[in-house]
């Protein structure tokens, strides 16, 4: 059966105290909206419809950045969740299949849970995702059941003391035939404690038409919503804990796991070692057996088998390390392909560059890739020895098996097998240092006497 996702993302999120729409705040590097889209993607949806309002342009960009095919519908006034879903009606005109409503600020719904809801649809017209709370003072809508079926959802504000005492709460996720859902949301009124169009009313409306409804239960943690920066931090912490555990389960050695920060898309292969205090930005893949040593920061890069990175290395976007490459302390790389067995061990910047197999880049070497306006490339061949403190002024190419003398400023290409030396010749002045020291010490003594 085809599925259409409807993701509600029009709210401002006043309690975030931010100009950014709530659903664009990030957990593990991805907007919450993207986390919701990723969960929904497990159902292989035929359509993904995002209901946007506050910051709609930014929300559209973020949604389509993740999924080009995402469709946006506007809800210009936030009149309630039922009203929000109703905005999707024109887009879903003629759509045959189920609709599943998700919230853009609820990032942890598991794909398996959504699959269970779709499975429950086989015997029920409306399926609502519920969870039980230990503390019934929480202000969620309550799910009212009779004879094992769901009869209605009552918002906390509108609920009697008896209903508020029920532990079964509404997550907001709902699955229903798309056309039935659209006809139900069209009937919703706003005569309630909030004066809003409540999506939750669809259950009683469906039951009144003789339709059936049921609850699929999940863990409270899955339905965690984010309303403030403190809750965003808590959600991020939950994501990190789960990701670290999943990495370890998959055979990665993560030392002091609580100090390692992962992005939502980080991939690390088995037998890789991640030392303490490593930060993974977006788009990092690390192959089996590589070592990421302490205090390194990686973003948009690929680390092949048995490469060693750090301690204290910074790999920026476009970095590709081949097998067995060594990147040592205080080395920064950007848009750089470093081929198998090459070494950049100390205090270097390698940007917009290609470094050939087994080449050794000496300490303090810098690719001078930027002239203030344009970026230029540096190409270094295989088996090259770059002397310490070489400045490679790009664009420049160094042939295979070439060499540079320490301190050389390379401004011209170096042919294969040649050595480039470009520095002032050394001149030793006999006794000069000793005479100079004596003069300076005498001057200091005289000044002290006069003071
Ligand atoms: C909703 C449910 C409640 C449930 C709770 C779970 C209703 C009426 N209530 O309450 O039963 O226990 O979620 O967290 O549905 N949104 C729009 N447009 C609107 C209103 C909301 O896009 O006009 C979006 C919000 O941005 C948010 C989501 O819908 O992502 C939920 O809205 P919110 O106002 O937070 O609903 P709750 O009052 O928490
Ligand atoms: Ca909410």
DSSP codes joined into one string, 11-35: ---GGG-SSS-GGGSEETTEEHHHH
3-223, CATH topology level:
Spore Coat Polysaccharide Biosynthesis Protein SpsA; Chain A (3.90.550)
Instruction: Give me the percent of the chain exceeding a pLDDT of 90.
Output: 99
Distance 440 CA to ligand 1 centre (A): 77
pLDDT one-digit tens code per residue, 55-91: 999 999 999 999 999 999 999 999 999 999 999 999 9
Q: Say if ligand 1 is within 6 A of residue 103 CB.
A: yes
pTM recorded for the entire structure: 0.92
**Cβ atoms of 212 and 158 closer than 8 Å:** no
Instruction: Give me the percent of the chain exceeding a pLDDT of 70.
Output: 100
Does 264 participate in catalysis according to the annotation?
Answer: no
In this prediction, residue 290 carries a pLDDT of 98
The one-character DSSP state at 362 is P
Listed in order, strand segments (DSSP E) in 105-212 are 126-132, 142-146, 149-154, 168-177
Q: Which of 340, 62, 270, 82 is nearest to 192 (CA)?
A: 82
pLDDT one-digit tens code per residue, 108-128: 999 999 999 999 999 999 999
In this prediction, residue 71 carries a pLDDT of 98
Q: Say if ligand 1 is within 6 A of residue 55 CB.
A: no
Q: Is the pLDDT of residue 451 over 90?
A: no
Q: Say if ligand 1 is within 6 A of residue 197 CB.
A: no
Specify the residue with its C-alpha closest to ligand 1, atom 36. 81
Q: Say if ligand 1 is within 6 A of residue 105 CB.
A: yes
Instruction: Tell me which long-range contacts 302-305 makes (C-beta under 8 A, separation of at least 24).
Output: 304/340, 305/269
Q: Say if ligand 1 is within 6 A of residue 109 CB.
A: no
b/e code 181-206 from CB counts within 10 Å (16+ = b): bbebbeebeeebeeebbbbbbbbbbb
Size (the chain), residues? 451
In this prediction, residue 217 carries a pLDDT of 98
252-420, CATH topology level:
UDP N-Acetylglucosamine Acyltransferase; domain 1 (2.160.10)
Q: Say if ligand 1 is within 6 A of residue 199 CB.
A: yes
Work out the end-to-end distance of the chain between its first and last CA atoms, rounded to an integer number of angstroms.
94
Q: Is the pLDDT of residue 271 over 90?
A: yes
pLDDT one-digit tens code per residue, 146-198: 999 999 999 999 999 999 999 999 999 999 999 999 999 999 999 999 999 99
Given the residues 264, 297, 302, 346, select the one marked as catalytic.
346
Distance 424 CA to ligand 1 centre (A): 71
Annotated domain spans of the chain: 3-223, 252-420
Residue bearing tokens 């003629």 = 94
Distance 167 CA to ligand 2 centre (A): 17
Q: Is the pLDDT of residue 1 over 90?
A: no
Q: In this structure, what token pair is assigned to residue 433?
A: 């240092």
Q: In this structure, what token pair is assigned to residue 296?
A: 């390194």
pLDDT one-digit tens code per residue, 308-358: 999 999 999 999 999 999 999 999 999 999 999 999 999 999 999 999 999
Distance 83 CA to ligand 2 centre (A): 15
**Cβ atoms of 398 and 418 closer than 8 Å:** no
Q: Which residues pair with 351 in a beta bridge?
A: 334
Q: Is the pLDDT of residue 389 over 90?
A: yes
Instruction: Tell me which long-range contacts 402-410 makes (C-beta under 8 A, separation of at least 24).
Output: 406/362
Specify the residue with its C-alpha closest to ligand 1, atom 11. 141
Specify the residue with its C-alpha closest to ligand 1, atom 17. 10
């Amino acid at each position: 059966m085809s599925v259409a996702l409807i993701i509600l993302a029009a709210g401002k999120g006043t309690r975030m105290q931010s100009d950014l729409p709530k659903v664009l705040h990030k957990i593990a590097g991805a907007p919450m909206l993207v986390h919701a889209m990723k969960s929904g993607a497990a159902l292989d949806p035929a359509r993904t419809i995002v209901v946007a309002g506050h910051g709609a342009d930014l929300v559209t960009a973020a949604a389509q950045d993740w999924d080009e095919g995402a469709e946006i519908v506007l809800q210009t006034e936030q009149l309630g969740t039922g009203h929000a879903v109703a905005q999707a009606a024109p887009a879903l005109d003629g759509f045959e299949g189920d609709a599943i409503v998700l919230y853009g600020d609820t990032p942890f719904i598991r794909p398996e849970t959504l699959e269970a809801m779709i499975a429950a649809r086989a015997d029920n017209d409306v399926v609502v995702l519920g969870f039980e709370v230990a503390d019934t003072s929480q202000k969620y809508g309550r799910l009212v059941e009779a004879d094992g079926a769901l009869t209605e959802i009552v918002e906390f504000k509108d609920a009697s003391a008896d209903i508020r005492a029920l532990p079964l709460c509404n997550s907001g996720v709902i699955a229903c035939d798309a056309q039935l859902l659209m006809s139900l949301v069209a009937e919703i009124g706003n005569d309630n404690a909030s004066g809003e169009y409540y999506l939750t009313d669809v259950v009683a409306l469906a039951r009144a038409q003789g339709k059936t409804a049921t609850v699929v239960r999940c863990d409270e943690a899955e339905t965690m919503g984010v309303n403030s920066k403190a809750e965003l931090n808590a959600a991020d912490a939950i994501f990190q804990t789960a990701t670290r555990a999943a990495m370890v389960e998959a055979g990665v050695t993560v030392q002091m796991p609580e100090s390692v920060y992962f992005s939502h898309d980080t991939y690390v292969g088995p037998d890789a070692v991640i030392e303490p205090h490593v930060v993974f930005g977006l788009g990092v893949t690390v192959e089996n057996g590589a070592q990421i040593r302490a205090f390194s920061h990686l973003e948009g890069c690929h680390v092949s088998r048995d490469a060693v990175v750090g301690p204290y290395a910074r790999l920026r976007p476009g970095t590709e390390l081949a097998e067995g490459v060594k990147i040592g302390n205080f080395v920064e790389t950007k848009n750089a392909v470093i081929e198998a067995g090459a070494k950049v061990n100390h205090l270097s910047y390698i940007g917009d560059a290609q470094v050939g197999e087994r080449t050794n880049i000496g300490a303090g070497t810098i690719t001078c890739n930027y002239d203030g306006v344009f970026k230029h490339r540096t190409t270094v061949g295989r088996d090259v020895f770059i002397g310490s403190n070489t400045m490679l002024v790009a664009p420049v190419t160094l042939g295979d098996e070439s060499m540079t003398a320490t301190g050389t400023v390379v401004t011209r290409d170096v042919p294969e097998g040649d050595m480039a030396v470009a520095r002032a010749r050394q001149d030793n002045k006999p006794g000069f240092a000793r005479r100079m020291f004596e003069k300076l010490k005498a001057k200091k003594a005289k000044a002290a006497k006069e003071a």
